[in-house]
Amino acid sequence: MIFSLLLLVLIGAAALWLVLEPLRRAAPEDPDAPERARLTAERNRLYAELNTLEDESRRPGLERRAALTLRALDGLPPASTAKNPSRSRTLALTGVGAAALLTVAGALTFIPRWQLASLDVGEASKVQAVLKLPGLKQTAQRSEKNADYLAWGRAAFDSANYDQAVSAYGNALKTDPRQPEALRRLGILLLTRGEQIGQAISAEDAERAGLLIRTAAQLAPEEPESQLLLGFALSRFGQDQEALAALERYRTLDPAGRDADDVITSLRARLNQSDPALKLYAASCASCHGAAGGGGIGPSLRESILSRAALRSITVNGKGAMPAYPNLTDAELKLLLDLMEQWQQEG
């Protein structure tokens, strides 16, 4: 927010300087006038189209074009003015008004989107969810409709505003107690509340949270998030076998999902389900390459494109910061190489 305000002040100051400069001195005819006129016309056309837009799917593209047009305008040298001081004064005052309107419009539309363009997808989604929260909250509290409570809860949950998420999902369940999303997300928030406030959760609250998550999984067993949160909850309750089954079910429902990889690896290591490769990896490799091969101090093994021969050579002889493991038996080395090749295929 502070950055946005500073940016608006700078834009306003720059705009005022540019439009009031003609009052200070006269200058020769503007050599960039044709290009400036073309860009200005394009900018005005895009603004008009955005103001009357009905197909929201076209908005990002139009806003990107408008942003590029404004940048091109900003890149031109300041426009020279005619030698008529009264005309210069009129143009300057008109420019001041236009600059003020554009600054306000930018604060509400374009400037936040320019800032989002510098973020990755996850960060941008979180910022957008935060920006939507006040309006969604107001709508839900005014309408008291289930769909509005869910929309508010979803935005709060996605932006990590968990107090609002608890309130929104709690109200949604009052209108309809059989909503899997509200049940499981409210349950996982109750279960992890202790971590947020630095206090241990009571056995009664933990049992209540577990019941909510289990109920959601029963109502919507084919939704990946149901199995994901069920697996997390069961692992907290020490039910490793059931937790592993739920998390593997999650990966079946969402093959691209990687949220459970570390927990699955830990569960398999604890259960020692006839998987000596994971046990060997956890003892020798996980501290650098991550519990599930996703990378850490060392590179990701899942994104590796090395051949089996290259993997073998680096494992046995070391390379750079990677230590050598010359004492691995042939059987142990085969287990590790098979595991790394499996992760390469999974990506």
Q: Residue 114: what pLDDT?
A: 44
Domains and CATH numbers, the chain: 274-347 (1.10.760.10)
For 340, the token pair is: 């790394």
Least confident of 162-171, 254-263, 292-301: 292-301
Which stretch of DSSP H or E encloses residue 111? helix 110-117
135-155 mean pLDDT: 91
Whether pLDDT at 134 is above 50: yes
* Highest mean pLDDT of the ranges 13-27, 173-187, 230-244: 173-187
Q: Say if residues 162 and 154 touch (Cβ distance below 8 Å).
A: no
What are 142-151's contacts with CB under 8 Å, separation 24+? 144/171, 144/175, 145/175, 146/172, 146/175, 146/176, 146/179, 149/175, 149/182, 150/179, 150/181, 150/182
Whether pLDDT at 95 is above 60: no
State how far Cα 284 lies from the chain centre: 33
CB atoms within 10 A of CB 99: 20
Interval 5-59: pLDDT, tens: 565 566 666 655 655 555 555 445 667 788 888 888 887 887 777 667 677 677 6
245-272 mean pLDDT: 82
Confidence of residue 168 (pLDDT cuts 50, 70, 90): very high
Interval 306-323: pLDDT, tens: 899 999 999 889 888 888
Q: Residue 49: what pLDDT?
A: 77
58-64 mean pLDDT: 70
Residue of 194, 182, 198, 257 whose CA lies nearest to 224: 257
Q: Residue 152: what pLDDT?
A: 92
Q: Helix, strand, or coil here: 235? A: helix
Least confident of 33-47, 112-126, 130-144, 303-317: 112-126
Instruction: Report which of residues 61 and 208 the model is more confident about.
Output: 208
Question: Using CA atoms, how far apart are residues 258 and 302, in angstroms rounded to an integer?
Answer: 11
Q: Residue 101: what pLDDT?
A: 55
Interval 253-262: pLDDT, tens: 888 888 888 8
Q: Write down the pTM of the prediction.
A: 0.49
Confidence of residue 115 (pLDDT cuts 50, 70, 90): very low
